[in-house]
């Protein structure tokens, strides 16, 4: 039977990278789960709704063990979207797909046939077409950048862990920019700027006029009260020297 498509537009397939939290459980699991409960008790809702990747590399476990662990995590509200470092035979049906290098590895390695089923379920065409472009996107060697040509408004956040963010306009009070690399603002920076967010101490922040609510590089941050008043309202570059955030007026 042939089906006639009335809408012939192609299905859009894109590679995209997301930042996920990787959990590495340790044996014995009951002991590790106790420590996880302790962590969850201290920071309520930390795992709630976040995509989690379970890294089981080097663990000598059976499929039943993994199933139990996933059940335990599920009860704790931890939503596992993928499993990393597992043998193909370890992953049964209805388990999250195997992930490798940050991309679904379902149909790359033929010997891991049982894996392909849950990963490809319902979307065989997408799975078949997807892996190639994904490799390029996930490669850490590629330095990328984005340019925002509009002012960033209050309440908006630009999150770009892959590299530099350039803004042609101002960043409003109550807006935030999170970049894996440097942040360039060709306007007034009134909101929050967090550069080098995934551990890049050489990242910098540049702005034409500094009125920021918070500046951070590689997790170290500075509030307006700690900033030198002489930099306020000036064109400034901000960088990290050891554990201190330095700033200098741009000529």
Partner 1 sequence: MAKVIVVTSGKGGVGKTTSTAALGAALAQRGEKTVVVDFDVGLRNLDLVMGAERRVVYDLINVVQGDAKLPQALIRDKRLETLHLLPASQTRDKDNLTAEGVEAVIEELRKSFDWIICDSPAGIERGATLAMRHADVAVVVTNPEVSSVRDSDRIIGLLDAKTKKAENGERMDKHLLLTRYDPSRAERGDMLKVEDVLEILSIPLLGIIPESMDVLRASNLGAPVTLNDASCAPALAYRDAARRLAGEQVAMTIPGGRRGLMNKLFGRRAA
Nearer Cβ to partner 1, position 172 or 217? 172
Among 51, 74, 101, 155, binds partner 1 (CB under 8 A): 155
Distance of alpha carbon 180 from alpha carbon 196, whole angstroms: 4
Near partner 1 by CB under 8 A, which window of 53-61, 72-80, 103-111, 169-177? Answer: 169-177
Nearer Cβ to partner 1, position 96 or 169? 169
Residue 224 contacts partner 1 per CB under 8 A: no
What are the strands, taking DSSP E only, across 73-223? 80-84, 98-100, 103-104, 144-148, 157-160, 163-167, 176-179, 183-189, 192-195, 205-210, 214-217, 220-222
Nearer Cβ to partner 1, position 20 or 148? 148
Number of residues that bind partner 1 (CB under 8 A): 13
Q: What sign results for the dihedral spanned by CA atoms 227, 170, 251, 166?
A: positive
Near partner 1 by CB under 8 A, which window of 14-22, 46-54, 164-172, 241-249? Answer: 164-172
In degrees, rounded to 5, the angle at the alpha carbon of residue 9 between the alpha carbons of residues 8 and 15 is 140
Distance of alpha carbon 157 from alpha carbon 142, whole angstroms: 23
Nearer Cβ to partner 1, position 119 or 175? 175
Q: How far is the CB of 249 from partner 1 (least distance, A)?
A: 20
Distance of alpha carbon 24 from alpha carbon 22, whole angstroms: 6
Residue 174 contacts partner 1 per CB under 8 A: yes
In degrees, rounded to 5, the angle at the alpha carbon of residue 124 between the alpha carbons of residues 95 and 67 is 5
Nearer Cβ to partner 1, position 85 or 174? 174
- Say whether 25 sits in a helix, a strand or coil: coil
Nearer Cβ to partner 1, position 6 or 149? 149
Residue 154 contacts partner 1 per CB under 8 A: yes
Q: Which residues contact 127 (CB under 8 A, 6 or more apart)?
A: 104, 106, 107, 116, 119, 120
Residue 234 contacts partner 1 per CB under 8 A: no
Q: Where do contacts with partner 1 occur on this chain (CB under 8 A)? A: 150-151, 153-156, 169-170, 172-174, 188, 190
């Amino acid at each position: 039977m042939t089906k006639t498509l009335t809408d012939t537009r192609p299905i859009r397939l894109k590679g995209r990278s997301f930042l996920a939290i990787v959990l590495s459980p340790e044996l014995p699991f009951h002991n590790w789960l106790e420590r996880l409960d302790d962590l969850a008790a201290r920071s309520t809702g930390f795992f709630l709704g976040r995509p989690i990747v379970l890294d089981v590399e080097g663990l000598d476990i059976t499929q039943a063990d993994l199933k139990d662990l996933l059940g335990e995590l599920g009860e704790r509200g931890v939503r596992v979207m993928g499993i990393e470092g597992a043998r193909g035979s370890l992953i049964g049906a209805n388990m999250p797909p195997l992930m490798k290098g940050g991309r679904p590895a379902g149909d790359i390695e033929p010997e891991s046939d049982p894996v392909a089923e849950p990963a490809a379920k319902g979307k065989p065409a997408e799975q078949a077409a997807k892996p190639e472009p994904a490799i390029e996107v996930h490669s850490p060697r590629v330095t990328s950048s984005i340019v925002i040509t509009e002012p960033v408004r209050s309440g908006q956040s630009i999150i770009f862990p892959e590299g530099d963010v350039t803004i042609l306009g101002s960043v409003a009070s109550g807006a935030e920019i999170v970049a894996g690399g440097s942040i360039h603002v060709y306007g007034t920076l009134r909101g929050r700027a967090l550069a080098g967010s995934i551990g890049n101490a050489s990242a910098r922040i540049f702005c034409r006029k500094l009125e920021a609510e918070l500046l951070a590089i590689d997790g170290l941050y500075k509030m307006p009260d700690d900033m030198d008043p002489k930099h306020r309202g000036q064109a400034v570059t901000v960088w990290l020297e050891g554990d201190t955030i330095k700033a200098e007026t741009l000529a």
